[in-house]
Amino acid sequence: MHGFYDFVSGPLVWISFILFICGSLYRLITMAVLAKEKDPMVYAYMDFYYAIRSIFHWIIPFGSVNMRRQPAMTIVTFAFHICLICVPLFLFAHVILWKESWNISWWFLSDGAADIMTMIVIGSCIFFLVRRLTRPEVRYLTSYSDFITLAIVAAPFITGFWVYHQWIGYKIMLIFHILSGEIMLVAIPFTRLSHMIFFPFTRGYMGSEFGAVKNARDW
């Protein structure tokens, strides 16, 4: 188990961070080049003020008409994304590993808060799954890869919850937990999860086109 643990918590961490960072840069650069070739007007339309204005409306809960129309979905989506980002970054168990390796540290959540936030992420994933399976208009747009993406996102949280509570099979679950986190990190640039890196650009572009060109709102 020592060898296994050392491998997943050592070299594999390096590999997954390198793939995540380089993969994200690669996707951004190829997208920028593609836009230049296929639709150079994108650059002409891009407007900083309208981009920020649109992004602002879309990161505020109920900041858009669409969100107000679907209150349940909006609440779950926001709670989900906040917890999804904050738990891995501000969990004490993760902060202390940075502290041990690099002697750097930052603010952290209490274990109790992190536990509740993890349940919110897992609950939201179940909500999204049920929604995909039961709502015909969503089902129509769903492919297998969406279920796989959902599983990639849920796995680190389910296994993390498991090991925090030290349920049966602790050691192997901790290995799975670390592995699933690494898989998720690597999956970000190469799956639909890439909306994390593209969001400011796609939203910013929509905002610019609507704001500067059509003189309309896009929220």
Partner 1 sequence: MRKNILIYMAIMVLGSLFFNVSVFSQEDITAVEDSAFDVRQIMRPPVPFFHDEHNEKAGVEECNICHHTYEDGKKVEDDSSEGMECSECHTLEDKSDPAPLVRVYHLQCKGCHEERKAGPVMCGECHIK
Task: Determine how many CB atoms are found less than 10 A away from the CB of residue 183.
Answer: 14
CA angle 22, 23, 24 (to 5 degrees): 90
Rule CB under 8 A: choose which of 29, 96, 133, 138 binds partner 1. Answer: 96
Residue 95 contacts partner 1 per CB under 8 A: yes
Q: What is the CA radius of gyration of the chain?
A: 20
Q: Which is nearer to ligand HEC, 152 or 178 (CB)?
A: 178
Any residues with CB less than 8 A from the CB of 183 and at least 6 apart, and which?
16, 152, 155
Distances (CA, A) of 127 to 121, 122, 135, 181: 10, 9, 11, 21
* Region of 3-11, 29-37, 120-128, 195-203 interacting with partner 1 (CB under 8 A): 3-11
The pair of three-digit structure tokens given for residue 61, joined into one six-digit string: 């809960």
Rule CB under 6 A: choose which of 15, 65, 97, 119 binds ligand HEC. Answer: 97
Residue 89 contacts ligand HEC per CB under 6 A: no
Residue 111 contacts partner 1 per CB under 8 A: yes
Q: Which is nearer to ligand HEC, 45 or 92 (CB)?
A: 92
Min dist CB 190 to ligand HEC, Å, is 28
Residue 96 contacts ligand HEC per CB under 6 A: yes
Spatial distance between the Cα atoms of 79 and 122, rounded to a whole number of angstroms: 11
To the nearest 10 degrees (0 to 180), the angle between helices 144-164 and 111-134 is: 160
Binding footprint of ligand HEC on the chain (CB under 6 A):
92-93, 96-97
Binding footprint of partner 1 on the chain (CB under 8 A):
2-3, 5-6, 92-93, 95-96, 99-100, 103, 105, 108, 110-111, 163, 165-166, 170-171, 174
